[in-house]
């Protein structure tokens, strides 16, 4: 049984001759269909007549292979050479031959073990032997399959007549049993008269790789009967007659099939004419009076096409199904046949009264997988013979061909509708236009009256109906079906899978007639949804059509989206190209301005260069820089360039009006931010100067405050020759340019303050806690003074200050509240009973000293006591004093200008002297010697060691010592070496 578990079983029915023949017919080496024999039953006993060993093996191997696969026992009686060749052939298949041999599923026997067990052949004993083998095999296996070579007959004394008598008895033994045998005869060894007997006694033959229906077969009871010669003549004559009749029938069938194929294959013949001709051919073939194709709508049958002239066919009126023979056809899979209606119980049937058909044959017609109607053939006269299998086949073929034509016509109509929709959709430009057009076609040409196109709303994160037919709007509960929590349509969109909703008409708000809805994803764009009122829902063909419709819609929607994206990209590229061109232009202007700013030595030169470059290098008609009068608040042009055209004559902008002014220059000064008017004609804030601007060709304007730190050095105003010039990019670039200009003006002013021979000295009183000296004096209850400020190499400042009257710890405790880091005590001593402490600290960027330096000044002195400080600042004689004072008051609201006076520096300013002495020092050397000096490194006793100073500078002591010695050497050379001076 182990082999049976490993082989595949095909069927559970009894082993028959056809089973054995299947194996041969399925082999590529054989040909020839086998038909049932007429007039008698075929037994499970067939003969193989072979010319050589190859033919014997070619038949035996597939025959045995099938038996092993079906779980049968295969018993072989073969010569040694044949056995070896058959085993080799079986091993080339995927059957486990060794397992079959081990289990006994495949056995090989000699003639001595079977036919000649007792030394001679005994038919009765052999039959008993086979009966036992069959009984034993079928208890364990599915059946017994024999393959026996009878070449031993030629070497033994057994007569052929006796063996054929035995063969006759074997037929009786095998009949009805799960047993089949393939007897094998070598034609080159057996005489013709013996082979003739073999042919007459076997119903089926295998010869020349062909499975043959044996027309010469004579049943054994006739072959061995007393009237054998007469019966043989009768059989031969009957065979000739039957073959002649069969040939005529075959020719007639071929003619019918050929003409039927010609009708169906004719591409130029309309559908109606094809159906008409198919009905005529069937009527002619069956010999009946009339034929018809009907369409079933559930209650009635309507005639689509008819031949034969029956009056009920001609009137064209639908007939209730109950009054037709076809009502029984609709519930059957096989054709319905009626040979004699009156005798077969139809005489009381309504259909018999209405139609009067005595004979009838009909079957169903399907459109795809859906029932379309019926095709039937009938006559008013009864038939003398039953309808044959061939005649039923004629009806079924006619039904199939008509069904194919119906489906083709239906699909062509659907394809034409889809093509029409696609052509229309391709003209659409937007998603909503595509959806509206698709819904219109769904209702009018596609015959999908309940359809909706749902789009995905990216803002809301849900599906919404873009377009829908009237029936869908009234009867489809779209909102609930699209609910993100429970809606099947939402699940369809998320999963990107086609989903159906059965019994959709039972949902709240739905049309009761709706039976099924199907939702098909349109990619990431949404869904196409349609529903039907058909009680069986969508058939497979209709489902395919709906999916094709959705695919067309998705394709067009994707194309529209791609075109939109492409258009946006083109617009973006065009904008980017314009932007790049403008950037190149602006960058060229800024580059030339930057180069000029580096070389400029005065504020006037800077403003002049800026106006000139801007007015000649871009879409700017006029550029001017205005100065702000801090007393009157007026802004007046100081430098300008471009198409001035008298527009600056007497121009004064009142900066005090600020937001109330309609000129951007006033608002820019007030808000310290760029102000613009991109369209002078339509901007309401340009009323007072619009006419004058338009007369001169100015269509846009922008004003940019020149602000550095908290100091405003004026305002830069530009006029454009067209609206929209000052877009976001232009404003951003010009804003950065204005900051660069203000920084350049500050740098020039700072430089002038350092090298001028005359200085403007400003003395301020400050009581604002924002000033660190005030905080120290107030919180530590002492007096404080700023000693000096030393620039570090990293750009930061180190300040040194002295306090009197307070312990050092009180001052160090204030570090978190001061704009300093690394606050350290340098030295502490007592003078006249008062504690005097010397400190150093790294100053933050917003410190007083840093602010003064950033605005072109030098902090000369700073002292504080009793919560008030006095600060003395030195500026260049022609510096923008008003701007500096305004900045100082803005930074320290509690400050007051006490005095302003000039200070002559003599022929050699401090800056000149300082520059002369230190121009050879590197920044690190200058930092080292200044830090050492102000840290008391050169005093005795030395309050701080070189190691401590090095740690303050974040360098090692040897590095500090090296910088210090180099600086001392260079300073001494400047002092004592005449050549160096």
Cα distance between residue 784 and residue 805, in whole Å: 9
Query: Strand pairing partners for 360?
Result: 338, 378
Q: Which CATH superfamily is domain 428-561 in?
A: GAF domain (3.30.450.40)
Supply the pLDDT for residue 365.
92
Supply the pLDDT for residue 266.
81
Cα distance between residue 360 and residue 341, in whole Å: 8
Supply the pLDDT for residue 382.
93
Q: Supply 14's token pair.
A: 């009894």
Q: Which residues contact 902 (CB under 8 A, 6 or more apart)?
A: 758, 759, 760, 761, 877
* CATH architecture assignment, domain 908-981: Orthogonal Bundle (1.10)
pTM > 0.95: yes or no = no
Burial environment of residue 510 by CB neighbours within 10 A (0 to 12, 13 to 18, 19 or more): buried
Instruction: Report the alpha-carbon angle 670-671-672, nearest 5.
Output: 95
Q: Supply 870's token pair.
A: 């006095």
DSSP state letter for 162: H
Domain spans, the chain: 2-218, 226-265, 267-413, 428-561, 600-753, 756-905, 908-981
Please, are residues 750 and 759 in contact by the beta-carbon 8 Å criterion? no
Cβ atoms within 10 A of the Cβ of 816, count? 7
Cα distance between residue 253 and residue 247, in whole Å: 10
Sheet containing 45-50, strands listed edge to edge, beginning at the edge strand earlier in sequence: 106-109, 73-77, 144-149, 179-186, 45-50, 204-207, 210-213
Cα distance between residue 75 and residue 145, in whole Å: 6
Residue/partner pairs of 221-225 with CB below 8 Å, 24 or more apart: 221/168, 223/164, 223/168, 224/164, 224/165, 224/168
Q: What is the DSSP string of 878-932?
A: TS-HHHHHHHHHHH-TTEEEEEEEEEE--SS-HHHHHHHHHTTS-HHHHHHHHHH
Supply the pLDDT for residue 911.
55
Supply the pLDDT for residue 904.
67
Q: What is the DSSP string of 667-700?
A: HHHHHTS-EEES-TTT-GGGTTTHHHHHHTT--E
CA 510 to chain centre: 34
Please, are residues 178 and 135 in contact by the beta-carbon 8 Å criterion? no
Supply the pLDDT for residue 24.
60
Domain 2-218 in this protein, CATH class: alpha beta
Cα distance between residue 195 and residue 853, in whole Å: 131
Q: What is the DSSP string of 246-273?
A: HHHHHHHHHHHHHHHHHHHH-TTS-HHH
Supply the pLDDT for residue 90.
93
Cα distance between residue 14 and residue 16, in whole Å: 6
Q: Does domain 267-413 correspond to CATH entry 3.30.450.40? A: yes
Q: Supply 611's token pair.
A: 């106006």
Q: Where are the alpha helices (DSSP H) in 160-270?
A: 160-174, 192-201, 220-223, 228-265
pLDDT digits (tens, 9 = 90+) for 426-464: 888 787 888 888 888 888 887 888 889 888 888 777 888
Supply the pLDDT for residue 577.
82
Nearest Cα neighbor of 646 from 713, 698, 700, 571 is: 698
Fold match between 428-561 and 600-753?
yes
Cα distance between residue 799 and residue 821, in whole Å: 10
Q: Which residues contact 665 (CB under 8 A, 6 or more apart)?
A: 626, 635, 653, 655, 675, 703, 715, 717
Nearest Cα neighbor of 21 from 190, 214, 171 is: 214
Q: Supply 500's token pair.
A: 């159906």
Residues 391-425 as b/e (b if ≥16 CB within 10 A, e otherwise) read bbebbebbbebbbebbbebbbeebeebbeebbebb
pLDDT along the chain (981 residues), means of 10: 31 49 57 43 73 90 89 92 92 92 94 86 86 91 90 75 74 80 90 82 78 71 62 66 67 74 80 87 87 87 84 71 88 89 88 89 86 91 89 89 85 83 82 84 82 84 86 84 84 85 83 86 87 81 82 84 84 80 76 78 84 81 82 79 78 71 82 87 83 85 84 86 84 85 79 66 86 88 88 80 91 90 88 87 82 78 89 81 82 86 62 65 84 82 83 86 86 62 36
Nearest Cα neighbor of 929 from 909, 954, 946 is: 946
Cα distance between residue 880 and residue 760, in whole Å: 10
Residue identified by tokens 């049976």 is 4
Q: Which residues contact 257 (CB under 8 A, 6 or more apart)?
A: 397
Supply the pLDDT for residue 362.
94
Supply the pLDDT for residue 38.
42
User: For the chain, what's the residue count?
Assistant: 981
Nearest Cα neighbor of 531 from 548, 511, 509, 558 is: 511
Cβ atoms within 10 A of the Cβ of 978, count? 5
Supply the pLDDT for residue 936.
81
- Measured in degrees and rounded to the nearest 5, phi and psi for residue 31 equal -145, 170
DSSP state letter for 578: H
* CATH architecture assignment, domain 600-753: 2-Layer Sandwich (3.30)
Query: Strand pairing partners for 624?
Result: 640, 717
Sheet containing 675-677, strands listed edge to edge, beginning at the edge strand earlier in sequence: 653-654, 634-642, 620-628, 711-720, 700-708, 675-677
Nearest Cα neighbor of 115 from 131, 137, 130 is: 130
């Amino acid at each position: 049984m182990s082999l049976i578990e490993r082989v595949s079983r095909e069927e559970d029915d009894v082993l028959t001759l056809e089973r054995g023949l299947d194996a041969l017919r399925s082999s590529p080496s054989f040909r020839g269909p086998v038909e049932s024999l007429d007039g008698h039953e075929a037994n499970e006993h067939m003969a193989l007549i072979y010319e050589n060993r190859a033919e014997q093996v070619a038949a035996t191997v597939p025959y045995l292979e099938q038996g092993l696969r079906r779980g049968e026992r295969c018993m072989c009686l073969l010569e040694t050479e044949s056995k070896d060749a058959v085993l080799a052939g079986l091993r080339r298949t995927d059957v486990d031959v060794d397992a079959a041999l081990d289990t006994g599923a495949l056995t090989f026997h000699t003639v001595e073990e079977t036919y000649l067990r007792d030394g001679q052949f005994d038919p009765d004993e052999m039959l008993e032997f086979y009966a036992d083998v069959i009984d034993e095999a079928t208890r364990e296996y599915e059946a017994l399959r024999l393959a026996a070579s009878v070449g031993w007959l030629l070497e033994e004394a057994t007569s052929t007549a006796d063996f054929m008598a035995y063969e006759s008895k074997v037929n009786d033994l095998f009949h009805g049993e799960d047993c089949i045998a393939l007897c094998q005869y070598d034609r080159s060894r057996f005489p013709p008269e013996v082979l003739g007997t073999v042919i007459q006694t076997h119903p089926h033959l295998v010869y020349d790789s062909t499975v043959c229906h044996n027309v010469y077969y004579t049943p054994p009871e006739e072959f061995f009967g007393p009237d054998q010669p007469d019966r043989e003549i009768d059989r031969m004559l009957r065979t000739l007659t039957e073959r002649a009749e069969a040939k005529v029938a075959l020719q007639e069938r071929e003619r019918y099939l050929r003409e039927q194929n010609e009708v169906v294959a004719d591409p130029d013949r309309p559908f109606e004419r094809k159906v008409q001709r198919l009905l005529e051919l069937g009527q002619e073939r069956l010999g009946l009076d009339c034929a018809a194709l009907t369409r079933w709508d559930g209650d009635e049958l309507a005639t689509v096409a008819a031949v034969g002239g029956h009056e009920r066919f001609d009137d064209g009126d639908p007939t209730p199904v109950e009054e037709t023979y076809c009502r029984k056809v609709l519930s059957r899979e096989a054709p319905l046949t009626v040979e004699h209606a009156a005798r077969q119980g139809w005489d009381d049937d309504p259909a018999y009264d209405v139609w009067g058909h005595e004979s009838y044959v009909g079957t169903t017609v399907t459109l795809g997988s859906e029932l379309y109607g019926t095709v039937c053939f009938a006559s008013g006269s009864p038939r003398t013979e039953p309808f044959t299998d061939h005649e039923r086949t004629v009806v079924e073929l006619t039904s199939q061909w008509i069904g194919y034509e119906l489906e083709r016509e239906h699909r062509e109509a659907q394809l034409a509708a889809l093509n029409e929709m696609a052509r229309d959709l391709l003209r659409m430009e937007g998603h909503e236009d595509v959806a509206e057009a698709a819904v219109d076609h769904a209702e009018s040409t596609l015959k999908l009256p309940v359809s909706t196109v749902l789009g995905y709303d990216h803002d809301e994160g849900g599906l919404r109906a873009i377009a829908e037919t009237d029936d869908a709007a009234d009867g489809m509960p779209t909102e609930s079906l699209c609910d993100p929590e429970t809606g099947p349509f939402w699940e369809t969109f998320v999963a990107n899978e086609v989903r159906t909703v059965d019994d959709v008409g039972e949902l709240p708000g739905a049309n009761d007639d709706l039976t099924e809805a199907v939702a098909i994803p349109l990619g990431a764009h949404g869904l196409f949804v349609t529903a039907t009122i058909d009680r069986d829902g969508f058939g497979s063909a209709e489902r395919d059509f709906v999916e094709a419709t959705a695919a067309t819609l998705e394709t067009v929607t994707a194309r529209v989206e791609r075109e939109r994206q492409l258009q946006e990209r083109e617009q973006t590229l065009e904008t980017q190209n314009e932007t790049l061109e403008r950037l190149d232009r602006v960058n060229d202007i800024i580059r030339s301005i930057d180069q000029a700013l580096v070389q400029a030595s005065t504020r006037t030169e800077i403003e002049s260069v800026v106006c000139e470059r801007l007015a000649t290098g871009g879409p700017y008609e006029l550029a001017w820089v205005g100065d702000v009068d801090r007393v009157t608040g007026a802004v007046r042009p100081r430098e300008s360039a471009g198409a001035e055209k008298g527009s600056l004559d007497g121009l004064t902008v009142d900066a005090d009006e600020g937001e109330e002014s309609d000129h951007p220059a006033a608002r820019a000064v007030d808000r310290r931010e760029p102000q613009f008017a991109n369209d002078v004609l339509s901007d309401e804030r340009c009323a007072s100067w619009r006419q004058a601007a338009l007369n001169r060709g100015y269509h846009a304007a922008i004003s940019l405050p020149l602000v550095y730190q908290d100091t405003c050095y004026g305002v830069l105003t530009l006029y454009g020759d067209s609206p929209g010039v000052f877009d976001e990019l232009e404003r951003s670039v010009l804003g950065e340019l204005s900051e660069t200009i203000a920084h350049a003006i500050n740098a020039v002013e700072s430089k002038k303050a350092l090298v001028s021979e005359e200085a403007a000295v400003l003395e301020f009183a400050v009581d604002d806690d924002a000033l660190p000296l005030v905080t120290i004096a107030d919180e530590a209850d002492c007096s404080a003074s700023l000693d000096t400020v030393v620039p570090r190499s990293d750009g930061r400042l180190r300040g040194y200050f002295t306090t009197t009257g307070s312990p050092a710890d009180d001052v160090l405790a204030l570090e978190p509240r001061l704009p300093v880091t690394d606050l350290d005590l340098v030295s502490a001593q007592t003078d006249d009973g008062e504690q005097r402490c010397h400190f150093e600290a790294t100053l933050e960027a917003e410190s007083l000293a840093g602010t003064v330096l950033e605005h072109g000044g030098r902090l000369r002195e700073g002292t504080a006591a009793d919560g008030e400080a006095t600060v003395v600042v030195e500026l260049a004689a022609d510096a923008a004093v008003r701007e500096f004072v305004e900045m100082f008051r803005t930074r320290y609201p509690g400050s007051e200008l006490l005095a302003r006076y000039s200070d002559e520096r003599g022929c050699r300013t401090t800056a000149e002297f300082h520059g002369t002495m230190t121009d050879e020092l590197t920044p690190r050397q200058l930092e080292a010697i200044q830090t050492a000096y102000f840290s008391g490194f050169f005093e005795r006793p030395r309050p701080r060691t070189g190691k401590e100073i090095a740690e303050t500078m974040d360098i090692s002591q040897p590095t500090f010592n090296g910088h210090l010695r180099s600086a001392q050497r260079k300073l001494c050379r400047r002092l004592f070496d005449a050549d160096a001076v």
